[in-house]
Amino acid sequence: MASSPDAPTAGQGTPSHGRWRAGPLLGQGGLGRVFLAYDGTGRAAALRVVRASLARDQEFRRRLGREVHAMAAVRGPRVAALVDADPHGAVPWLATEYVPGPTLATRVRDLGGPLDVPELRTLAHALAGALDDIHRAGLVHGGLRPSNVLLTADGPRVADFGMAGCAARAGYRGRPGYTAPELLTPARGEAEPPSDVFALGAVLAFAAAGRGPFDAGSDDPDLTEVPQELLPLVTACLAGHPVARPAPRTVARMAGLPLPGSRRRALTLADTLLLAQLAVAASPLGGRWTPRTVER
């Protein structure tokens, strides 16, 4: 999405959804297809059109309606916000801000390689801020990965958030390597905020190394190319036990760029070391560790 194609002209026969006329296909997944769309003023949006088979699932529709309502409350400079939706139509759809710019995956793999330390700190701050905004609205992202982190002139922004419950209903559980271990077991539950923090750590590791931390197929992340300055942060985010992972605001402080509006004390070196120790000590799914009071 490095640049916006020309808006389709009238009479081309492209389908309409509310005030949006679908143009070029941007992508597709388990929930349906995503188009670049335009309204009558030429404003662009990313239009997600739900698959017909899911549209016939009444429980899916109820969940979609609840999640769209919550998504409408998420606003901020670090997210691609919801701008319009019809979860109850014959073909449910929702439109989010169209964000021109390459994805993190494209930037790292095709346009410049791994990010340097200042860029990684900026990325960690943006992802933490986006997740904080999403979680405060009562949502989880549920599918954070390099392909839905968009790099703009104003900084990184997160797209495709807030559909985790609907994706679970559709049987989609996220991409291997970015999905928290508690979501990969036979007794897996739905995504929760700590699951998003795990994905954040995996995205940071990808940005630092040019490959995912689990690309080699091991259950243990390969963090050999993560800069030492950020290793405690990434290690803590990738803790096997969800309780051992830091909250997004702690992630921002560990990155050295606290989120605005926080009235909590700054993270101390002792806190940072403890979080790293918890990450190492907690084995996947139920590793034994001793809870301690930590600024989270």
On the question of a common fold for 21-97 and 104-281, the answer reads no
User: Considering the entire predicted model, what is its pTM?
Assistant: 0.81
| CATH class in words for 104-281 | mainly alpha
Mean pLDDT by 10 residues, the chain (296 residues): 40 68 90 94 95 90 91 93 94 94 95 95 97 94 94 93 75 76 79 95 98 93 96 97 96 92 47 44 34 31
pLDDT for 10 equals 35
Residue 143 has which token pair?
């599918």
Whether CATH 3.30.1490.100 fits 21-97: no
- The DSSP code sequence of 226-252 is S-GGGHHHHHHHT-SSGGGSPPHHHHH
Of residues 85, 103, 9, 15, the one with CA closest to residue 45:
85
Of residues 281, 187, 190, the one with CA closest to residue 243:
281
Contacts of 211 (CB under 8 A, 6+ apart): none
Question: pLDDT of 252-268, one tens digit each?
Answer: 999 998 888 654 444 44
Task: Tell me the chain's radius of gyration from C-alpha atoms.
Answer: 19
Q: What is the domain partition of the chain in residue ranges? A: 21-97, 104-281
Residue 59 Cα distances to 56, 86, 149, angstroms: 9, 16, 29
Question: pLDDT of 164-221, one tens digit each?
Answer: 777 776 666 666 799 999 988 776 677 899 999 999 999 999 999 999 999 988 889 9
Cα 226 to chain centroid distance, Å, stands at: 20
pLDDT for 175 equals 64
Check the CA dihedral 101-105-110-115 and report its sign: positive
